[in-house]
Amino acid sequence: MSSIKPRIHKLLDALNEGVFEKEHTIALSLLAAIAGESIFLLGPPGVAKSLVARRLKYAFKENNAFEYLMSRFSTPDEIFGPVSISKLKDEDTYERITEGYLPTASVAFLDEIWKAGPAIQNSLLTVINEKIYRNGQFTVKVPLKVLIAASNELPAKGEGLEALYDRFLIRQFVGCIEQEFAFDRMIASTKDTEPNIPEKLPIEQEEYCKMQAEAETVTLHYTFFELVHTIKRTVEQYNTQRDANLPPIYISDRRWKKIVGLLRTSAYLNESPAVNFADCLLIHYCIWDEVSQLPIVENIVQQAITESINTYLLGEKQLEQKLDALKEDMKAEHSLREISDPAIQVVDTFYHRIEGYRIAGNLLMFASDYQNLKKDSNRLFYIQQDKFRPVNKILKTYDFVKNRSIAQKDIYSLRKGNRSVFVNNEEYPLLCYKDCESLPEPNEETSTPFEFRLQEVIDLLQNMETEFKKLSDRENGYAREHLFLSTRQKADLKRILNGTAHIIENYRNELRIIAHAHEQENRDY
**Residue 366 backbone dihedrals phi, psi, to 5 degrees:** -60, 135
Domain 1-204 falls under CATH 3.30.70.80: no
> What pairs with residue 412 in β-bridges?
381
Tally of CA atoms within 13 A in the half-sphere of 430 that contains its CB = 28
**Residue 139 backbone dihedrals phi, psi, to 5 degrees:** -110, 120
> What pairs with residue 149 in β-bridges?
40, 110
Q: What is the pLDDT of residue 363?
A: 94
Secondary structure letter of residue 56 according to DSSP: H
Q: How far apart are CA 203 and CA 219, in angstroms?
A: 24
Q: What is the pLDDT of residue 9?
A: 95
Helix (H, G, I), strand (E, B) or coil at 83: strand
Closest CA to 225 of 298, 312, 317: 312
Domain ranges of the chain: 1-204, 314-321+448-521, 344-432
Encode 500-525: b = buried (16+ Cβ within 10 Å), e = exposed: beebbeebeeebeebeeebeeebeee
Q: How far apart are CA 357 and CA 337, in angstroms?
A: 24
pLDDT per residue as tens, the chain (525 positions):
458 999 999 999 999 888 777 889 999 999 999 999 999 999 888 878 888 888 899 999 887 899 999 998 999 999 999 988 887 777 777 888 889 999 999 999 999 999 988 889 989 999 998 899 988 888 889 999 999 999 999 998 888 888 899 999 999 998 776 667 667 666 667 666 677 888 899 999 999 999 999 999 999 999 999 999 999 999 999 999 998 888 899 999 999 999 999 999 999 999 999 999 999 999 999 999 999 999 999 999 999 999 999 999 998 888 888 888 877 776 655 544 445 678 888 888 888 999 999 998 999 999 888 988 888 889 999 999 888 788 999 999 998 888 888 888 899 999 998 899 999 999 999 999 887 777 655 454 445 677 788 888 899 999 999 999 999 999 999 999 999 999 999 999 999 999 999 999 999 998 888 887 767 655 543
| Gyration radius (Cα) of the chain, Å | 37
Does residue 488 contact residue 300 with C-beta atoms inside 8 Å?
A: no
Q: What is the pLDDT of residue 289?
A: 92
Q: How far apart are CA 25 and CA 12, in angstroms?
A: 11
Alpha-helical runs (H) found in 221-315: 222-241, 253-269, 277-280, 294-307
Q: What is the pLDDT of residue 184?
A: 63
Cα angle 59-63-64, degrees, rounded to a multiple of 5: 150
Does residue 410 contact residue 390 with C-beta atoms inside 8 Å?
A: no
Q: What is the pLDDT of residue 522?
A: 58
Q: How far apart are CA 288 and CA 297, in angstroms?
A: 7
E strands, 78-126, in order: 107-111
